[in-house]
Amino acid sequence: MGRLRQKGNAGAAKAYVTRSIAIKKLQCSLADFRRLCILKGIFPREPKSRKRANKGSSAPTSFYYAKDIAYLAHEPVLKKLREHKAFAKKLSRALGRGEWSSAKSLEENKPVYKLDHIIKERYPTFIDALRDIDDALCMIFLFASLPSNPRIPPSLVENCSRLAAEWQLYIMRSHSLRKAFLSIKGVYYQAEVMDQTITWLVPYQFTQNIPVDVDVRVMLTFLELYQTLLGFVFFKLYTDVGLVYPPPLDAKRDESAAGVGAYLLQEASQKSDKPAVTKVKVVEVEGRQVSGRDVYKTIKNIASSSPNADDMDVDAPTIENNFGETEEEFIVQPSKSDAEMASSLPTLQSLKALPQSINTSLFAPYTFWLSRETSRPIFEFLVRSFGGKIGWPASSGGGSPLDESDDSITHVIIDRPVIEQPSETDEQRELRLKRRYVQPQWVVDSINAGKILLEAPYAQGQSLPPHLSPFGEYEGAYDPAELANEELAADEDESEIEGEDVEIEDADIENEALQAVATAATEDSATLRAAELAAEAAGIDPSTFEKEVAKSRRKSKKSSSNGVDEAETDMNKMMMSNKQKKLYEKVKHSQDKRNLERSKLEEKKKNLHKQKRKLGQTS
Amino acid sequence: MTIQARSSKKRKQHGQDEASDTFNEAVNLEMLSDEEDKEDVESDNGEVDEFPEIDAGSEESGEEDETYKSEEDTGASGEGSSSGSQEQLHIFPEVKTIVSDITGQEKRVYPEIEPDYDSDSSTEDTPNRVGDIPMHWYDDLPHVGYDMDGKRVLKPARGDELDRFLKTVEDPNSWTSAFDKKAQADKPLTAEELDIIRRLYANENPDADYDPYEPLTEWFTGPGKEEIMPLTAAPEPKRRWIPSKWEHKKVMKIVRAIRQGRILPNRTKNTSQPPFYAIWGDSSSSNAPPLPAPKPTLPTNSESYNPPEEYLPTEEDKKQWEETDPEDREHDYLPQKYSALRLVPGYERFIKDRFNRQLDLYMAPRVQRVKLNIDPNSLIPKLPSPSSLKPFPTYKSLKVVHTHIARCISVSPDGAWVVSGDEGGVVRLWEVNVGREVKKWKFDGKIGSIEWCPRTDVSYFVVGTDDMLHFLIPPNLPASILQLTQSILAPSTLPPAPETPSPVKWSTPSSNTWTDETAVLTIHLPPSSGLPTQITWHRRGDYLASVSIGGSQGAVWIHQVSRRHSQAPFKKVRGKVQMVLFHPMKPCFFVATQQYVRMYNLSEQKLLKTLQPGIKWISSMDVHPSGDHLIVGGYDRKLCWFDLELSDKPYKVLRYHTRAIRSLHFHPTYPLFASSSDDGAIQIFHSRVYNDLMTDPLIVPLKILRGHEITKGLGVLQVKWCSRHPWLVSGGADGAVNVWCS
């Protein structure tokens, strides 16, 4: 006989604890527990059997791993939270007694916790951290746009906007933006940093109001963690490319609402050499520093094709000195035993030679001017990320490197209807004709397409083509572009045939018999030939006959596939096991749902198309 | 009216009498008191007198009043007093300070008291001496107290309301008089009393004499009044003049800390951002990172600010979206289309969305799921196409109609004839190919079962009715067969009767009464054994087993035709027997109870195995002609295929009928079996069994035959195969017996 096993001493009953037990064990308040969970990234688990985990009770509770809670018990932050509780008591006591000086000294020495160790714990490697900054970026960008209130101190908003600007600066500098999408919720950006795809959402520039059913404390706790995380991530990113972190802020530019341009990107080496001088110098040229360098770099890349690139005025310090160094090529020394493996080893050079999926210097040859009504932060970021040069009027903020009358401007991003300008001077007219006026969607669509699209459909005042998501949908989803090309054409054909059918039927009834013959003859080639001959004899146009045959074939195919195969598969379904049957039903259900969605959209599209055609015919 | 008037008059008189009485008495009393007063003038002076009750009626005011009176009196009585004595009211008689002639010192001289009437106010004293008691004690008595001599002081006459009113009108002093309880009469208030009332009304101190701004008399402070001597003789402690050592230590500790720089005075609070450093610089820790949180789904085309038009929701879509709960919505937004980017408004639910995402991150339990990305059609087993497994019945070739439910059918061993019985007691014999009815028998009661004898050299069938089994010989038989049949069923010399008397009786009518209409041989089962629901033959055609619905262990009987002997194989059967079967090869016997199928060896008389189909209620079973496989059908729609060599548990469980399975039958020669159900459908399966033990039997569903009507919830009750052809005969609750041909 084995040892007696007592219930609740092993297995799920020990591995999971409920939330209330966890709080009791940690001896903290629920709010503190939540805060800890947020900071430490601990979340409830779903036990396989809730009953077994909850000692036989099936009451709805959330379970945590007992080990998670045991780790939490040794958390320094928890200790600090307890200290803070004591501090709060002391402070309220001092304030209640009117002991202002002791309250002040208490306040000065209030316990503050640090999250560094948590960052290191949650993200042991840098890639782990980078993989998880999507939510952090969304929050930072949201809070950077929020108005401050008693719950959200202005310093927090300021810090968020600083972090947001730092991220944008890094993306612009490293050219790692890949996709952008203008949605109704905001602008989605997707960047590729160190092979990690990072997607973040930035709200449009409108004042956000915090709804009453949102717990700001929770958001602020998350934000606390995110700020620290992003600080460390940016530090690593900046130092890896040889920049100083944090980038110093130019107060004057910041006051003139320069946005991203208010931060100065400093080379780490420059700083160490002569910090004071460079600072002044950088301040002077900062507006063009980043963009100018980018332009230079991209121009250098395409220098071989364009001979006049040399006369471009370069006002930014060049740092890519090591470009000239010749890199030694890996020479393959094929081993005799395993030749294939050695030859297949990819080298850095071979990888570089591979065609890049996206052209990061897409806008390098162009210079943009932002019209007043377009959002500067969005398009400045987009254009500069893809190597373009951009200027904006003073009403959109300071720090514009260009003037509106600059000759180099090739495109004007404008988002207003065309207005006749009778009092136009010749000069203005000339400028207008020289430039291309495009709507903002053109920029985003060009980025997503990876090439410069034709400007004509996006010209000022044109009704825009639909803006599609660059992120794609699930496999087999409805693709609006595909249907537009193929199905509609087929649809037209079919409807034409239908129209002809009616005509033929009107003309003579003799053909109906022929039609029947054609229908019957589809299966067999010999009979088909006979039928063709008969049709010829009857004096029917061969093209109509062919159409007839095709139509009947389609019909017969449909009916046969529907009839016989369905019945057979239905019969075979009987032989499935119960488990398989359930799985099959589940998969089939989701598939049917998707198909329904797809067919619904297709149907809608066809209807719209028909309506449009009708309108076209009547008008 | 008159009565009232009279009564009032009476009262008046009475009142007057009373008044006169009291008056007299009072007068007497007063006279007496006058005399008495002379002696105790002095004693009365300080006494608290009765005071007419006014609203406040406080003691103090009474005393004051009294003192006023006395002062006034004294003032009036004092001869040598100054004229200002009226204003300067003093408690004591006025004092004169004179220089004594004898001693030469100042001395106080008091005025002499003259003992006459005017010297005291006690002349006005009330005669009532009851003291300060609640006067309502005397309410019911004619007197109000007692005087000095212990005589009663009678109540003064008080008159009625009218008198009092008239008094108030006539007497000008009535409004300044108050009721004196002790005297039980109104007394006019004095000027002093009125003054007090006025002061009280004006919220002033009632004492006219009181000076609120009296100059302060300093008794203990001021020059010359200091205390010179200490209060105690204790010496002064050291702490009064020596500084604290401990304080010094504490202060020095702080001073030292400040000197050493441990305490920074006025340290500026570090409000700047936390310093960032290369946290991932050193070697990364070995422990695996926690699983990253799942990323939110990426936006699709419908979220675009300018989506293709087909994504825009219709009115119904919008309505449906709004009606569903926010948690149940597929998308948390409605697609919208804006013609230009500048027209796109701010998204209202942005913060809410972020918040929900955060709630998901820290409050939602996470489960790791393996995502199945399989083609659902790959789950369907690949089976050979039914068209390659022909022949099998596909269509209904003919139909024979009974008037009642056709519960049982049987096909002759040569496959040319069918007998079918219905619940009306009619048995029809007809031909399979064209359905021509050859013969019809009529029995009393329902027909429970019919089974043709499997022997080919003889031809007869058994019909089970209530408590009886009838052996019938079809007409138009060849003479040789008929003769043999008759000789078997009714031999000229009966076999010897068994030693033990059996409850089952075998009876044969005499040979001259034989007709086509009646049975050649009849077995009488024990009474109340009920309708035999099943008859099954051993393959040799000598034994047959019958199962009846009534009785417990008597339900199963095995009859031997050659010996005309019946026996009950089981003394006791656990559960209700549903069906029995003979094994086609071995001397084995299957018994299906409600939930189990038991397999017995008849020769060794022991249980071989118990099969557990897992069916709640077994309805039917059949054994494969090879004898190694068994199919069992149940009322809970399941069909179990048992490989008898393999296991007690089913090899395969199928559930494809929508209602209870009623009947199963293996084809004797073709690899086919059929099942019928209450859903009115018959399913044909291909069932190939391989001889080697390694290959699993192949079961392929071939065809669903529909054509029976469901009546009273019953569908197809029995199916039987024709032995030589892939043809199926089925009897249904609608009374139809159909033949299905390939």
Q: Residue B739 maps to which CATH number?
A: 2.130.10.10
Instruction: Give the list of residues 6+ apart from residue B32 with CB closer than 8 angstroms, or none.
Output: B127, B147, B148, B149, B151
Residue B422, pLDDT above cutoff 70: yes
Would you say residue B597 lies in a domain?
Answer: yes
Residue A165, pLDDT above cutoff 90: yes
Helices A542-560, A487-507: axis angle to 10 degrees equals: 120
pLDDT confidence of residue A19: 94
| Percent of residues, chain B, with pLDDT higher than 90 | 22
| Percent of residues, chain A, with pLDDT higher than 70 | 73
Please answer yes or no on whether B379 and A576 come within 8 Å at the CB atom. Answer: yes
Residue B502, pLDDT above cutoff 50: yes
Residue B33, pLDDT above cutoff 60: no
Would you say residue B338 lies in a domain?
Answer: no
Please answer yes or no on whether A218 and B358 come within 8 Å at the CB atom. Answer: yes
Mean pLDDT of chain B, nearest integer? 80
DSSP string covering B269-312, please?
A: P--SPPPP--TTSSPPPSSPPPPPPPPPPPP-GGGBSS--GGGS
The CA-atom distances, in angstroms, between B548 and each of B528, B598, B616 are 10, 18, 20
> Which amino acid would we find at residue A556?
S
pLDDT confidence of residue A443: 94
Please answer yes or no on whether B372 and A583 come within 8 Å at the CB atom. Answer: yes
Burial class (CB in 10 A: 0-12, 13-18, 19+), A21: middle
- The Cα A201–Cα A66 span in angstroms is 36
Please answer yes or no on whether A199 and B298 come within 8 Å at the CB atom. Answer: yes
Please answer yes or no on whether A43 and B301 come within 8 Å at the CB atom. Answer: no
Of B338, B358, B379, the CB nearest to A222: B358
The CA-atom distances, in angstroms, between B58 and each of B52, B203, B208 are 11, 15, 16
Q: Of the given ranges (A470-484, A493-507, B536-550), which has the lowest mean pLDDT?
A: A493-507
Backbone angles phi, psi at A237, to 5 degrees: -60, -45
Query: Average pLDDT in the A225-245 region?
Result: 93
Of B336, B361, B701, the CB nearest to A574: B701
Mean pLDDT of chain A, nearest integer? 79
Q: How many domains does chain B have?
A: 2
Higher per-residue confidence, A376 vs B83: A376
- The Cα A403–Cα A390 span in angstroms is 10
Q: Is the peptide bond before B296 cis (omega within 30 degrees of 0)?
A: no
pLDDT confidence of residue A183: 94
pLDDT confidence of residue A146: 92
Give the sheet arrangement for strand A411-413, strand by strand.
A389-391, A367-370, A411-413, A436-438
Query: Average pLDDT in the B509-516 region?
Result: 75
pLDDT confidence of residue A175: 92
Of A44, A464, A574, the CB nearest to B656: A574
Please answer yes or no on whether B354 and A139 come within 8 Å at the CB atom. Answer: yes
Residue A568, pLDDT above cutoff 60: yes
Tokens of A141: 């960008």
Which residue, of B11, B41, B75, is where some domain finishes?
B75
pLDDT range class, residue A197, cuts 50, 70, 90: very high
Burial class (CB in 10 A: 0-12, 13-18, 19+), A350: exposed
Identify from B280, B282, B392, B641 which residue to disrupt to test chain A contact, counting A C-beta atoms within 10 A and taking the largest count: B280
Residues in chain B: 742
pLDDT confidence of residue A272: 44
Instruction: Give the list of residues 6+ apart from residue A24 with CB closer than 8 angstroms, or none.
Output: none
- The Cα A444–Cα A182 span in angstroms is 8
Residue B66, pLDDT above cutoff 90: no
Distance from CA of A477 to the nearest CA of B (A): 10
pLDDT confidence of residue A248: 87
pLDDT confidence of residue A504: 45
Please answer yes or no on whether A572 and B289 come within 8 Å at the CB atom. Answer: no
Of A185, A234, A467, the CB nearest to B333: A185
For A280-307, the three-class secondary structure string (H helix, E strand, C coil) is: HHHHHHHHHHHHHHHHHHHHHHCCCCCH
- The Cα B352–Cα B346 span in angstroms is 13
Q: Of the given ranges (A36-45, A91-100, B167-176, B298-307), which has the lowest mean pLDDT?
A: B167-176
Query: Which residue segment(s) compose the domain that B626 sits in?
Result: 388-396+579-742
Please answer yes or no on whether B336 and A575 come within 8 Å at the CB atom. Answer: no
Would you say residue B311 lies in a domain?
Answer: no
- In tens, the pLDDT along A493-541 reads 555 444 444 444 444 444 554 555 545 544 556 666 767 776 777 666 7
Residue B340, pLDDT above cutoff 70: yes
- The Cα B176–Cα B46 span in angstroms is 26
pLDDT confidence of residue B511: 73
Tokens of A336: 């005799």
Nearest to B533 by CA among B631, B466, B452, B453: B466
- In tens, the pLDDT along B365-389 reads 888 888 877 888 888 888 888 888 8
Query: Average pLDDT in the B651-657 region?
Result: 88
Higher per-residue confidence, B18 vs A155: A155
**Contact (Cβ atoms closer than 8 angstroms) between residue B683 and residue B675:** yes
Which residue, of B55, B75, B95, is where some domain finishes?
B75
State the DSSP code for A459: B
Q: Which residues of B touch A440 (CB under 8 A)?
A: 341
Would you say residue B636 lies in a domain?
Answer: yes
- In tens, the pLDDT along A385-416 reads 999 999 999 888 888 888 888 888 999 999 98
Q: List % helix, strand, coil for chain B (3-state, nearest 5).
A: 25, 25, 50
Higher per-residue confidence, B660 vs B74: B660
Q: Of the given ranges (A222-231, B3-12, B670-679, B709-718), which has the lowest mean pLDDT?
A: B3-12
Would you say residue B711 lies in a domain?
Answer: yes
Element holding A159 (H helix, E strand) = helix A154-174
Residues in chain A: 619
pLDDT confidence of residue A345: 55
**Contact (Cβ atoms closer than 8 angstroms) between residue A517 and residue A533:** no
- The Cα A113–Cα A79 span in angstroms is 9
Of A184, A601, A604, the CB nearest to B305: A184
Residue A446, pLDDT above cutoff 80: yes
Chain A residue with CA closest to B372: the answer is A587
**Contact (Cβ atoms closer than 8 angstroms) between residue A285 and residue A188:** no
Of A41, A184, A374, the CB nearest to B290: A41
Higher per-residue confidence, B22 vs A392: A392
- The Cα B631–Cα B616 span in angstroms is 15
DSSP string covering B316-362, please?
A: HHHHHHHHS-TTT-SSSS-----SSGGGPPPPTTHHHHHHHHHHHHH
pLDDT confidence of residue A339: 44
pLDDT confidence of residue B35: 41
Q: Of the given ranges (B304-313, B412-421, B567-576), which has the lowest mean pLDDT?
A: B567-576
Would you say residue B227 lies in a domain?
Answer: no
Q: Which residues of A touch B687 (CB under 8 A)?
A: none
pLDDT range class, residue A563, cuts 50, 70, 90: low
Q: Which residues of A touch B362 (CB under 8 A)?
A: 34, 37-38, 42-43, 218
**Contact (Cβ atoms closer than 8 angstroms) between residue B619 and residue B578:** yes
Chain B residue with CA closest to A39: the answer is B362
**Contact (Cβ atoms closer than 8 angstroms) between residue B719 and residue B674:** yes
Q: Of the given ranges (B276-285, B539-548, B698-707), which has the lowest mean pLDDT?
A: B276-285
Q: Which residues of A touch B292 (CB under 8 A)?
A: 128, 131-132
Q: Which residues of B touch A208 (CB under 8 A)?
A: 346, 350-351
Residue A275, pLDDT above cutoff 50: no
Q: Enter the ipTM.
A: 0.78
- The Cα A196–Cα A130 span in angstroms is 7
- The Cα B90–Cα B447 span in angstroms is 143
Backbone angles phi, psi at B624, to 5 degrees: -70, 145
Q: Which residues of B touch A584 (CB under 8 A)?
A: 376, 379-380
Q: List % helix, strand, coil for chain A (3-state, nearest 5).
A: 60, 10, 35
Helix (H, G, I), strand (E, B) or coil at B165: helix
Element holding B129 (H helix, E strand) = none
Instruction: Give the list of residues 6+ apart from residue B159 with CB closer than 8 angstroms, or none.
Output: B15, B19, B167
Parallel/antiparallel/unpaired status of strands B426-431 and B437-442: antiparallel
Element holding A62 (H helix, E strand) = none
Would you say residue B43 lies in a domain?
Answer: yes
Q: Of the given ranges (A431-435, A519-523, B435-439, B697-701), which has the lowest mean pLDDT?
A: A519-523
Please answer yes or no on whether B305 and A246 come within 8 Å at the CB atom. Answer: no
Query: b/e string for A446-472 if b means 16 or more Cβ within 10 A?
Result: bbbebeebebeebbbeeebebbbbbbe
pLDDT confidence of residue A303: 45
Residue B223, pLDDT above cutoff 70: yes
Q: Which residues of B touch A62 (CB under 8 A)?
A: 363, 365
Identify from B262, B279, B283, B352 which residue to disrupt to test chain A contact, counting A C-beta atoms within 10 A and taking the largest count: B279
Query: Tokens 């409830």 correspond to what residue?
Result: A44
- The Cα B393–Cα B730 span in angstroms is 12
Would you say residue B525 lies in a domain?
Answer: no
Nearest to B449 by CA among B342, B525, B552, B344: B525
Helix (H, G, I), strand (E, B) or coil at B447: coil
The CA-atom distances, in angstroms, between A55 and each of A18, B364, B381 are 10, 22, 43
State the DSSP code for B234: P
Nearest to B681 by CA among B655, B713, B704, B711: B704
pLDDT confidence of residue A562: 62
- The Cα B632–Cα B627 span in angstroms is 14
Higher per-residue confidence, A8 vs B3: A8
Query: Tokens 């007299």 correspond to what residue?
Result: B24
Query: Tokens 């020596």 correspond to what residue?
Result: B242
CB atoms within 10 A of CB A597: 13
Which residue, of B20, B44, B75, is where some domain finishes?
B75
- In tens, the pLDDT along B291-338 reads 888 999 999 999 999 999 889 999 999 999 999 998 888 888 999 999
pLDDT confidence of residue B630: 92
Please answer yes or no on whether A43 and B335 come within 8 Å at the CB atom. Answer: no
In DSSP terms, which residues pair with A152 in a beta bridge?
A: A149
Please answer yes or no on whether B344 and A204 come within 8 Å at the CB atom. Answer: yes
The CA-atom distances, in angstroms, between B642 and each of A242, B584, B668, B689 are 76, 16, 18, 12
State the DSSP code for A249: B
CA angle B391, B394, B396 (to 5 degrees): 130
Distance from CA of B409 to the nearest CA of A (A): 28
Q: Which residues of B touch A43 (CB under 8 A)?
A: 361-366
